[in-house]
Amino acid sequence: MKKMSFDREFIVPTLIFFAATIIAYFWEPVLAVLLGILTVGAALFFRDPHRDIPGEESAIVSPADGKVMGVDIVEEKEFFNSEVKKVTIFLSVFDVHINRSPIAGEIKDVRYTAGKFIPANKPEAGKLNERNKIFIEGKNLSVLVVQIAGLIARRIVCRVQPGMSVGKGHKLGLIRFGSCTELYVPLEAEIMVKEGDRVKGGETIIGRWRG
């Protein structure tokens, strides 16, 4: 059986819902039941299941759990200054929200941008919403992971900073309550997923690098 743990972010919201449940129990039992369900849901949102990280050196693993919304070729001017492949992953409130490093390498840059909170499954969310960009330089390639807040998600948690070394599958942080994660890789990378596929952060091989 795989080990299940919870991210430390679960403590405050879970305790708030739990306290509200106890108070409601003495005033309105039906409301207490609903709040109890929300308490369990809040805790499950922050679940942090064990992941089997692929040992294959050429493997690029998914930075998030969720559904692949698209695989595109785009111009990325901030870090690559060239055309790259972009994989967009939508995370519903039922998905694990831990973000993980697709490769082993060094965190070269972290850039936060304030923004809107439109639904994360909208194409324009990556340009308009609150987001955090993490640029990782590996031995043979560099990748960019973008954490994007959504309609319900109102907090991006990033736990890495420039100069840190990370292993493949290393936890970068999380986004609270429904969001989107983008992965940018060089054109030479072979993408192994397509629109509609379900992926698991740190475990699904999302691409391979043959360079």
- Check pLDDT > 60 for residue 78: yes
At the topology level, CATH places domain 59-208 in: Glucose Permease (Domain IIA) (2.70.70)
- Check pLDDT > 70 for residue 92: yes
* Burial zone of 108 (CB within 10 Å; 0-12 exposed, 13-18 middle, 19+ buried): middle
Average confidence (pLDDT) over 173-190: 88
Average pLDDT, the chain: 86
pTM: predicted TM-score of the whole model, two decimal places: 0.83
Average confidence (pLDDT) over 94-101: 91
Residue ranges per domain, the chain?
Answer: 4-49, 59-208
Active centre residues (catalytic): 179
Average confidence (pLDDT) over 155-160: 88
Average confidence (pLDDT) over 111-137: 77
CA distances from 25 to 13, 17, 21, 28, 29 (A): 18, 12, 6, 6, 5
pLDDT band at residue 43 using 50, 70 and 90 as cut-offs: low
